[in-house]
Amino acid sequence: MAGRNFLFVPGPTNVPERVQQAMVVSMEDHRSPKVPELTHAVIEGLKPVFKTTTATPIIFPSTGTGGWESALTNTLSPGDKVLASRFGQFSLLWIDMCERLGLEVEVVDAEWGEGVPVEKYQEILEADTDHTIKAVLATHNETATGVTSDIGGVRAAMDAADHPALLFVDAVSSIGSIDFRQDEWGVDIAVTGSQKGLMLPAGLGIVSVSEKALAAREGSKFPRCFFDYGDMIKANGTGYFPYTPSLPMLYGLREALAIMEEEGLENVFRRHHYLASGVRAAVMEGWGLQICAKAPKWYSDTVTAIMVPEGIDGAKVIDRAFRRYNLALGAGLNKVAGKLFRIGHLGDLNECMLLGALGGAEMAMQDVGIQITPGSGVAAAESYWRANEAEGAPA
């Protein structure tokens, strides 16, 4: 197929040219004297992205899912109770992992399209006067439904209940794209992966671990080896890793962090909000369709889940977009399979790239029988972007 593939799934995201170039290197000795400088640069460089000065970033050759597992097995013990809420495929899978590891999960189900029910969390934590709940889990950005939760609110609920549980946050599709404040929100372990806001290929599971979480490690009775924080921190202290790291990925990460620093993290967040607002205008004002997120407070700046009209299979839109227009859109997962398709708008992205995705989605939707006015989404997004400024974007 001529021309380039338009990648608009919410991860993996487009890898910037500079990052691709940084990764094209000959293989080298991972124990050479030049490695500690790289190790130090990426670990220190991650701290501002998590907005932490006190936590310890750890990089595993893994993915976000490995990061989840590391958080649970380094701090808890089999049979421990955790509080979690389920409102999409990713929050669902983290709960499934907890159960499979032998944790007892107090599950709070919320509607798919809503986020962490903060008031309910507070009620449960206030009632847990014996402090049997050892950890509170929250998915910051539910990628399956395009919903962002209020993590500052979760912290406030825990404080209001005066509850000492650890706070673990899945920030896989928010870190580096949506404001995340580990220290301010008292997040004990924040989990991300390389292939979303960090603009790299998949292959790294990255966590940032608070001192409190590291202290909890002492009492943890889960068996662990590959994902042991102690082994990793000890080796990182000398500038190395306990096993063979992917140096090309670390070079790529160093370059991605440099790109983010050059743009300015706050400008990165503003750009994501501005681009996402244009996409939402296309969907709701242009096409007259609904998004999965139930209210503006849940709207995600990294992914929009577009509800297809009753009687239409969302999977057909995705299939048509890919086969005919070389455009990759995100699928509806689990409960929302067939009911929606998703446009990822995170990472290395600008207006014109998104217009391509919106135009392609428009053609594919019409092809499968969805009644929309041709060009209406593109026009609404253009109007939004022309009338607004992503602060820090070139004038």
Ligand X SMILES: *Cc1c(COP(=O)(O)O)cnc(C)c1O
Shortest distance in whole angstroms from residue 204 CB to ligand X: 9
For the CB of residue 142, give the shortest distance to ligand X in the complex, in Å.
6
Closest to 217 in 3D by CA, of 304, 134, 323: 134
Instruction: State which of positions 311-350 bind ligand X (CB under 6 A).
Output: none
Strands 133-139 and 104-109: unpaired
Binders of ligand X among residues 80 to 119 (CB under 6 A) are 90
CA angle 319, 146, 389 (to 5 degrees): 105
Q: Does 139 bind ligand X (CB under 6 A)?
A: yes
Q: In terms of CB distance, is 276 or 364 closer to ligand X? A: 276
Cis peptide before 12 (omega within 30 of 0): yes
Residue 170 within binding range of ligand X, rule CB under 6 A: yes
Amino acid of residue 318: I
For ligand X (CB under 6 A), the number of binding residues is 13
CB of 10 to ligand X, least distance (A): 6
**Minimum distance from CB of 12 to ligand X (Å)?**
9
Contact with ligand X (CB under 6 A): which of 52, 73, 75, 143?
143
Q: How far is the CB of 205 from ligand X (least distance, A)?
A: 7
What is the smallest separation between the CB atom of 117 and ligand X, expressed in angstroms? 17
Q: Which two tokens stand for residue 193?
A: 């992966």
The span of 42-50, 139-147, 213-221, 222-230 binding ligand X (CB under 6 A) equals 139-147
Which residue's C-beta sits nearest to ligand X? 64
User: CA 4, CA 10: separation in Å to the nearest integer?
Assistant: 18
- State the pairing for strand pair 141-142/147-148: antiparallel
User: Can you state the percent helix, strand and coil of the chain, rounding each to 5?
Assistant: 45, 15, 40
Of the two residues 122 and 173, which places its CB atom closer to ligand X in the complex? 173
Closest CB to ligand X among 65 and 77? 65
Between 65 and 383, CB nearer to ligand X: 65
Instruction: Find the shortest distance in angstroms from Cβ 144 to ligand X.
Output: 8
Judged by CB under 6 A, the residue of 6, 7, 11, 354 near ligand X is 11
Whether the Cβ atoms of residue 385 and residue 278 lie closer than 8 Å to each other: yes
Nearer to ligand X, 57 or 359 (CB): 57
Q: Give the span between the Cα atoms of 297 and 141, in whole angstroms.
A: 12
Query: Count of alpha carbons within 13 Å of 288, Cβ hemisphere only?
Result: 8
Nearer to ligand X, 96 or 389 (CB): 96
Residue 277 engages ligand X in binding (rule: CB under 6 A): no
The dihedral built from the CA positions of residue 157, 294, 308 and 381, taken in this order, carries a sign that is: negative
- Could you tell me if 89 and 173 are in contact, meaning their C-beta atoms sit under 8 angstroms apart? no
Pick the binder of ligand X from 22, 59, 64, 86 (CB under 6 A).
Answer: 64
Cα(147)–Cα(58) distance, integer angstroms: 26
Least Cβ distance, residue 139 to ligand X (angstroms): 6
Let me know if 120 is exposed, middle or buried by CB neighbors in 10 A (0-12, 13-18, 19+).
Answer: middle
Stretch that binds ligand X, among 41-49, 169-177, 308-316, 383-391 (CB under 6 A): 169-177
Overall residue count recorded for the chain in this entry: 395
Supply 131's token pair: 């402090």
Site string for ligand X, 172-211 (x = CB under 6 A): xx-------------------x--------x---------
Choose between 122 and 246: whose C-beta lies nearer to ligand X: 246
For the chain, the straight-line distance linking the first and the last C-alpha, in angstroms and rounded, comes to: 36
276 vs 380, beta carbon nearer ligand X? 276
- In the bound state with ligand X, the residue whose beta carbon lies nearer, of 56 and 173, is 173
List of residues 6+ apart from 315 with CB closer than 8 A: 331, 332, 337, 338, 341
Q: Is residue 330 within 8 Å of residue 10, measured between CB atoms?
A: yes
Residues within the interface to ligand X (CB under 6 A): 11, 63-65, 90, 139, 141, 143, 170, 172-173, 193, 202
